[in-house]
Amino acid sequence: MIDGRIYNFSAGPSMLPEPVLLKIRDELLNTAGSGMSVLEMSHRSKVYDEIINAAAANVRELLAVPDNYKVLFLHGGASGLFSAIPMNLGTKSGIADYIISGNFANAAYKEAGKYLKEARIAGSSADDEFRHIPRQEELTLSPDADYVHVCWNNTIFGTKYPYLPETNGVPLVADMSSSIMSEPVDVSRFGAIYAGVQKNLAPAGLTLLIIREDLLGHERADTPKIWKFATQCENNSMLNTPPTFPIYCVKLVTDYLKEQGGLEAMKQRNEEKAAILYDYLDSQDFYLSGVNKADRSMMNVTFRTGDPELDKAFVAGQAERGFSNLKGHRLVGGMRASIYNAMPREGVEALVAYMKDFAAAH
Ligand SMILES: *Cc1c(COP(=O)(O)O)cnc(C)c1O
């Protein structure tokens, strides 16, 4: 870590790789020899065209996106897609199935209800306080649904799908905001994948959408123009001014991921990092790890002491150890360590050292 920087366990916006931050700094006044900053650059310029195309090409390469899928850069965060997905994909039967595995999954479901004939709950782990991901046998899927929506990694609760739901040909749409590029995914098994980039790819202000071509062009007639996926495809994501700086950062982060060996290498590192925390949690009984073991997230690790006062003391002690953002989400309490791609292994080791010291002292 560069002097003065701390281990930031924020769920998002979150850490970026230091080599990328340095590159941003070095290029900030004069990007790609253009004589101007990317911050000042027209999105219609040749230099910027190369940047956005390189960002999309890197996404395609890293995720092995099949040729019959489009890669789009959109505004509005992941929440924007909570509305745009039903507007664009929910027009045949007007029915869509939502699997409720946490807060964001529920937010997506609520929003879809505004634009669909019927947003259905196909399964939910609300009764279990979202400690597990609903299994296939818990799902009631509608054969005539336009799509099935899942939240792949539940950022607040700390769970991730350990299996791929079988939807019998109905397109599976996944919010992968907090797990995108943390490991390879078989894109061909999904109709669409989307992610707010501020967890694992870039600063806030941009949503990545990967969508199968046959799902384009069926949007509601009253869909706002900037939310029409087909129109955005025709305009290379530049129907209007796109979030130029975050897209530039996606290019730099994906360049970096390629240099690091791609998503197989990231997966191996992320598994090792998560294991350092989970192995420790499983080896002791001072801290509780509240979620079903098979469904544990590799990116967001939640834990608590069982005593809210002790949890508070744990969080209060973080600054002294050079950490920040370890407080759990208000819906869950306790602690949460978000350990995305950019969190170094040393940060996770330092956190476990703090956990051991705190447990010994209390
Ligand atoms: C952070 C997050 C969101 C919300 O993203 P915004 O870009 O703030 O709208 C949605 N879904 C998941 C899984 C998230 O982690």
Q: Averaged over 164-181, what is the pLDDT?
A: 98
Q: Which atom of ligand 1 is nearest to the CA of 198?
A: 7
Instruction: Give the right CATH number for 261-361 from 3.40.50.20, 3.90.1150.10, 3.20.20.70, 2.60.120.10.
Output: 3.90.1150.10
Question: Tell me, what's the pLDDT at 35?
Answer: 97
Average pLDDT, the chain: 97
Determine what percent of the chain is predicted with pLDDT higher than 70.
100
Nearest residue to 242 via CA among 70, 58, 250: 250
| pLDDT 10s digits, 298-329 | 999 999 999 999 999 999 999 999 999 999 99
Which residue out of 178, 207, 300, 338 has the highest number of ligand 1 atoms within 8 Å of its CB and is therefore the one to mutate?
178
Q: Which of 99, 104, 111, 179 to mutate to test the pocket of ligand 1 (most atoms within 8 A of CB)?
A: 104
pLDDT tens digit sequence for 36-81: 999 999 999 999 999 999 999 999 999 999 999 999 999 999 999 9
Q: State which of 150, 175, 177 you would mutate to test the pocket of ligand 1, scoring each by most atoms of that ligand within 8 A of its C-beta.
A: 177
Q: Which fold has domain 21-259?
A: Aspartate Aminotransferase; domain 2 (3.40.640)
In angstroms, what is the span from residue 81 Cα to ligand 1's centroid?
A: 10
Residue nearest to atom 7 of ligand 1 (CA): 77
pLDDT band at 233 (very low <50, low <70, confident <90, very high): very high
Quick: pLDDT tens for 102-141.
Answer: 999 999 999 999 999 999 999 999 999 999 999 999 999 9
What own/partner pairs with CB < 8 Å and gap ≥ 24 does 171-174 have?
A: 171/89, 171/146, 171/147, 171/212, 171/215, 172/147, 172/148, 173/85, 173/89, 173/147, 173/148, 173/149, 174/149, 174/150
Residue with the smallest CA separation from ligand 1 atom 12 is 177
Sign of CA dihedral 106, 108, 109, 110: positive
* 290 has a pLDDT exceeding 90: no
| pLDDT tens string 239-288 | 999 999 999 999 999 999 999 999 999 999 999 999 999 999 999 999 99
Lining ligand 1 with CB less than 6 A are: 12, 77-79, 104, 151, 155, 175, 177-178, 196, 199
Determine which residue's CA is closest to atom 2 belonging to ligand 1: 177
Tell me which DSSP letter residue 299 carries: S
278, 301 Cβ separation under 8 angstroms:
yes
Does position 1 have pLDDT exceeding 90, yes or no?
A: no
Query: Structural domain boundaries of the chain?
Result: 21-259, 261-361
Whose Cα sits closest to atom 8 in ligand 1?
A: 77
Residue of the CA atom closest to atom 4 of ligand 1: 78
Token pair 């020899």 is found at 33
Each residue's pLDDT tens digit, 175-220: 999 999 999 999 999 999 999 999 999 999 999 999 999 999 999 9
Q: Which atom of ligand 1 lies nearest, measured to the CA of 77?
A: 7
Question: pLDDT value at position 40?
Answer: 98
What pLDDT score does 55 carry? 98
Pairing type for strands 7-8 and 323-324 reads parallel
